[in-house]
Amino acid sequence: MEKQLIIIVYKINIDGLSKALVEQHIAQLHQLNSLINDEELKENFLIREIWLPVTTETDVKVIYPLSLNDEQMENLINDLKSNIIT
């Protein structure tokens, strides 16, 4: 069975953080929230993540595939957001 690609974009608000703190903050979020090593997902998916520092609101979006149904997409995004936004 061919694995399906999932691309997730994490926009992380770094407004007001120094460069050193930005790198530390994103590294910590990546370590705690990355799905790349999720064994259950790895069985069926190739996971690619993009971590973007922004000065706007923190957000998470699955930009590929578009074939996830609305409920699956919403559940995945909500789970990711709830872990990142504290």
Break the chain into its structural domains and give their ranges: 4-84
Query: What is the rounded CA–CA span in Å between residue 80 and residue 71?
Result: 14
Query: What is the rounded CA–CA span in Å between residue 60 and residue 71?
Result: 16
The phi-psi region of residue 42 (left if phi > 0; otherwise alpha if psi is between -120 and 50; otherwise beta) is: alpha
Q: Of 32, 12, 31, which Cα lies nearest the Cα of 22?
A: 12
Identify the pLDDT of residue 55.
94
- Looking at CATH, the fold of the domain delimited by 4-84 is given as Glutaredoxin (3.40.30)
In the predicted model, is pLDDT for residue 56 greater than 90?
Answer: yes
Q: Which residue has the higher pLDDT, 14 or 41?
A: 14
In the predicted model, is pLDDT for residue 85 greater than 60?
Answer: no
Give the mean pLDDT of 15-33. 91
The whole-model pTM stands at 0.74
